[in-house]
Structure 1
């Protein structure tokens, strides 16, 4: 003797097809008369009819949620890069962390290298010109006082000086045409990590050379920003900005914006002079350190360089 309920379920499965997608399985409503032809037991037919209505409602509900999720995902993808650049996304948070693995590579000794001892930490003592002597420093101080007297030019640069105090890669993304666009996360991440790594390296050189800030040498100087606690030589803003320029030039030397990137880096560095925070020789030393440190930066960030390069080909 057959079970009427089991027969009703079997009939329902036979009459109703299912939509099968990668992320869901949903019943698709069959013909309107299907519930009336299931068995001779009226209660079973009623149960199935009720079930059909519930499943239909569930189907519509899930489909509505699915369309809402699609719209949400579209909006999320549309604003993904904006949120990331604003610091609101997880990717941005991860990209701004100290690149510890890459910095560790700088400190690792090359394997099977007979000159290991000689090459150990050579990037910490690169051959850059030391700060000039007292006579030349007095000349530089006179230049900074002359720049300070040009009030109109100083005030024209003030918004840039204030914006560049907290270093951002946005100025370097803009001329490349990728600010606010997705698909260049590796390039932006590389720039952010270069800022972190070069700040660390630059502070090592500052501590070793130990040059006083211009306002310490010449009390008549009135810096436009609070004077940082660390030393003056070399300029870390110059070092960081030019390191980004050299890195992108290694990735895509034929890009027409490379000259504009160089102009931006020089402007960032010179604005620190207009702010009264650096001697001109600090700026020159920062650029020279960036040039000499570039090969070590490429070695440490080799995978990141390749990932960024892949985005442009």
Structure 2
């Protein structure tokens, strides 16, 4: 069985645990003025933990949110419609760019429903996805990527999209739904943004555990079009994130005519990372498979957000 080690956000959330159920979110530990440390001892004041959590939220921004801030002048007219939304809806939209800490807290709780898996903590970190292919198949993949690199015209045609998709934005997924820049769909956009946050975090855990080198490390003749990220290659987080949005919207509104277009966009975003020289094709497939297997845990953690988004379409 996988033995995940708490890192980064996980360690922080374990230090300031919350009890989460369908109706309320409360600091764990029973006492009104205490939080419970990861070793089970009560320490400090809940206010300290909440303040620290708030500070972490403010400091950790989604890549999509950062990208949108850079282009806020360009989208000024579109944002005027959103600014007309008042009250709770406007507040929810503002919070959507923050790290979904309570939903991640839910992921890190022990599963309570099934007594046969109650001891399997962090089961979502140990999902059964295929390991990377061996050296012989990897050599075939590098040969394919060298052939893609030789297709200069196609590579340059894709370059603007490759550059734009480096900082993952939900705008590409809002556009075919016809809601980009429109008021009244803040819950849907907020859900998509929070999915990007959560899946980036989960994907990095799988990358670190599997530890596959980037293609340009395996094949020195590859010339990536973008700076190569410092983290590992497998699975592709762009593929994982994009397909997670697709599976989420399919759960919300499977009959929507744009669901197939969302799938095409997710696949195109993932394949552009191959054309950029940053991912093997098997990285892309693994990202999609991880999205499929992680989808039930995502729906459980973001249950309220799924319902809010669904209500906007009915």
> TM-score under structure 1 normalisation?
0.72
Residue of structure 2 equivalent to 1:189: 190
Residue of structure 2 equivalent to 1:104: 105
**Distance across 2 between alignment mates of 1:80 and 1:230:** 38
**Distance across 2 between alignment mates of 1:271 and 1:279:** 11
1:218-254 Cα deviation digits (max 9, x unpaired): 0100000000000000000000000000000000000
**Distance across 2 between alignment mates of 1:133 and 1:152:** 31
Contact 1:148 1:154 in 2 (8 A): yes
Structure 1 unmatched runs, 5+: 1-74
Instruction: Provide closer, same or farther for how the CA distance between residues 166 and 108 of structure 1 changes in structure 2, counting only shifts above 3 A.
Output: same
Q: CA deviation at 1:129?
A: 0.6
Instruction: Provide closer, same or farther for how the CA distance between residues 76 and 136 of structure 1 changes in structure 2, counting only shifts above 3 A.
Output: closer
Q: Give the aligned CA root-mean-square deviation in angstroms.
A: 2.1
Aligned residue for 1:256, secondary structure, equals coil
Instruction: Provide closer, same or farther for how the CA distance between residues 83 and 273 of structure 1 changes in structure 2, counting only shifts above 3 A.
Output: farther
**Distance across 1 between alignment mates of 2:223 and 2:98:** 34
Contact 1:186 1:304 in 2 (8 A): yes
Alignment of 1:55-134 (within 5 A): 79-81=80-82, 93-111=94-112, 113-134=114-135
Alignment of 1:212-291 (within 5 A): 212-291=213-292
**Runs of 4+ that moved beyond 6 A:** 75-78
Structure 2 unmatched runs, 5+: 1-75
Residue of structure 2 equivalent to 1:165: 166
Instruction: Provide closer, same or farther for how the CA distance between residues 135 and 176 of structure 1 changes in structure 2, counting only shifts above 3 A.
Output: same
Residue of structure 2 equivalent to 1:308: 309
Q: CA deviation at 1:91?
A: 5.6
1:115-144 Cα deviation digits (max 9, x unpaired): 244432111010001000000000000000
Name the structure where helix makes up a greater proportion of residues: 1
Task: Determine if the alignment matches structure 1 residue 202 to structure 2 residue 213.
Answer: no
Residue of structure 2 equivalent to 1:27: none
> TM-score under structure 2 normalisation?
0.72
Q: CA deviation at 1:112?
A: 5.9
**Distance across 2 between alignment mates of 1:78 and 1:198:** 26
Q: CA deviation at 1:109?
A: 1.3
